[in-house]
Structure 1
Amino acid sequence: MHSDADFTSPPPLRGTVLALILRPGQEDPDEPEVLMVGPCCAGDEPGRNFRLPGGPMREGEAPSHALVRTVREETCLDVEPARLLVHDWVPATGTASAGIDLVYATVPLTGTVEVKLPRPAGGRAPDLLSYKWIQAGELGEHCMPRQAKRVRAALVALTDGGVAELHDGESAHPAAA
């Protein structure tokens, strides 16, 4: 017989929402550029740690509401989610619990897009150091491989109308790929 003390609760499942924000390419308008943000994290390789803007969902918060909130907090941009592009299962690592990262297409931005990174109060270090508009072909130069694969999967899903299901940046169903 087991008592309640014999079982431990699993760690909470982390939910993160990320935005695919595009603009026409500066060199080639037919080659869109993706907005990526550069977090300030110990252990990251400078210049290769860019990721899509967004962040964690709060308990009870709808993913679309979390997307609007976190993108505004990180970039001061007001975006409108258009549809889900990527569902990525991310296993637990070190101190981070396992989670699901969702990537949403956003309604295309028009006119001049002015990204403003937040300035933390009280002398606290910023969470984000920079942002960059990156063409799909250059993602590998600015992102960790998992991030680059996730963004490429989102771009394909945007074009073909599907949703990419990934496991840590790789296709969850290699036989179907």
Structure 2
Amino acid sequence: MTPRSASPARPARSARSDGLLGELTEPECWDHLTAHSLGRIAYVVDGGPTILPFNYLALDGLIWLRTTSYSELAIHLPGQRAAFAVDHADEHDHTGWSVLVRGRAEHAIGEHPGAPAGLPDPAPWPDGTRSMVFCLTPESVTGRTLRHADLGEADRSGPGSVQRHR
């Protein structure tokens, strides 16, 4: 057995990199969802989780995806509960946000009841024919944000403070 190498010492962080976690409201979550087009879909295949990056369209409270009819997603997703995540992180500033949508994914055929005029087109980035459209109907939409804390030196040492600086 070889000895474990010691991990390098972490540099002390400034007060600027201390962050506060907060909850996003559902409207704030939808603002992030509609402003972006790339996320990750998670579902279960053969008893285990699968997570794939996917471009999407958030429209009228639904998440729309389009893929090929022979993809793993097309084979395993219909009728399943699934999760869809979108996020952004600034590694330099240690800030960011994350949105999680959980619901049931359905193969959208013809006129879907949630579609305003026919099926929305999430416009997949990869080339090729992608004619199978899925709709994720949310059962819950939650989000978190990490923002800067404006903590002075005195604020970091009191009861209940996070002692990350060693």
What range describes the TM-score normalised by the shorter chain of this pair? under 0.3
Q: Where is the strand percentage greater, Structure 1 or Structure 2?
A: 2
Q: TM-score scaled to structure 2, two decimals?
A: 0.27
Greater C-alpha radius of gyration: 2
Q: Where is the helix percentage greater, Structure 1 or Structure 2?
A: 1
